[in-house]
Copies of this chain bind each other. A is one copy, B any other.
Amino acid sequence: MQEATADLFGRAGYRIKFNQRSYYPTIDDERIDCLLIRAQEMARYVEQGALDCGLTGYDWIMETGADVHEVAELVFSKVSRRPVRWVLCVPESSPVRTVKDLEGKRIATEAVGLTQRYLKEHGVSAHVEFSWGATEVKPPKLVDAIVEVTETGSSLRANDLRIVDEVLQSTPRLIANHKAYADPVKREIIDDMALMLGGAMAAEGKVGLMMNVPRASLKTVIALLPALQKPTISNLSDEKWCDVNTILDETVVRRIIPRLKEAGARGIVEYPLNKVID
């Protein structure tokens, strides 16, 4: 997490430097002090005001029930990065089919609060116990079911677990303490950070594409580009050609480039991006 966070901030333009054995990284903005704490505890300390703002997941905001301001949801444009899911699981061979079947059973989870609220919503009474780790190996020997976070489901499959229900979906959030966010100076710093983090995340799955297009083919070429992204069309010295420069999702590039070439585009060049802010 630490590296991923520093990397994200780095791409957003903030240079965070971790000092060995210290949880107080330095950042190259003299207006900001950093503190590295677990996602699980972030919302609690932002709510208390010990911290002005923090990065955590929607799941831990819910688990702690902290009253904080959500500045931004950080949605990744990369297809492979999906929200994490908290799911209710039982062993493949378990007779449990729905949450109702868990009445009186034992459930292990790292998110006791989330799980108790979920059971209550479904009118189920069960014993929920805090799991210090390796939750997915506990059923059926130690508990009947678990509520666990998953991205791809591969760890669940490896432990022969079956998903009974989804308890919560969660994405990363930039959160702020209400009082801090009311202060205009702090608010500008936090909003700028949200804009830059958003720009860096938006750039993750995007690339720049520039090409020379005969004026005669310009309409055809433009029609091939996704409607949402307005390309920049520049005049060239050679008046029969123009230069088209646009931003595309990485995943569509491989389908569009062959069509652009067929439509007459030449000198097609794809280049990497750091940030994209619409």
Residue A5 interfacial (CB < 8 Å): no
State the oligomeric state as a number of copies: 6
Q: Are A142 and B268 in contact (CB under 8 A)?
A: no
**Stretch touching chain B among A35-43, A69-77, A171-179:** A35-43
Among A166-217, those with CB < 8 Å from B are: 191-193, 195-196, 199, 203, 207-208, 210, 212
CA distance A237 to B13 in the complex (A): 30
Q: In the complex, are the beta carbons of B278 and A267 less than 8 A apart?
A: yes
A10 to B42, CA, bound (A): 35
* Distance, CA A237 to CA B137, complexed state (A): 56
A41–B132 touching, CB < 8 Å: yes
Known contacts A192-B255, A278-B267; A237 and B230 CB within 8 A of each other: no
Interface size class of A (residues with CB under 8 A): 35 or more
- Whether, in the assembled complex, A122 has its beta carbon less than 8 Å from a beta carbon of chain B, the answer is no
Are A23 and B158 CB-contacts (below 8 A) given A13-B253, A28-B80, A257-B196?
no
Within 8 Å CB of A95, what residues of B? none
Is A240 an interface residue, CB under 8 A from the partner? no
For A252, the closest partner residue in chain B by CB is B13
Listed residue (A131, A142, A230) with the most chain B CB atoms within 10 angstroms of its CB: A142
Q: Given the known A-B contacts A236-B232, A243-B232, A257-B275, are A270 and B132 also in contact in the complex, defined by CB atoms under 8 Å?
A: no
CB <8 Å contact, B132 and A38: yes
Q: Nearest CB to that of A275 among chain B residues?
A: B270
Min CB distance A106 to B, Å, is 9
17 residue pairs of the A-B complex, CB under 8 angstroms, read A22-B137, A35-B137, A36-B137, A37-B137, A44-B129, A50-B141, A50-B142, A196-B257, A208-B269, A232-B236, A232-B243, A234-B234, A243-B245, A247-B267, A247-B269, A257-B275, A269-B273
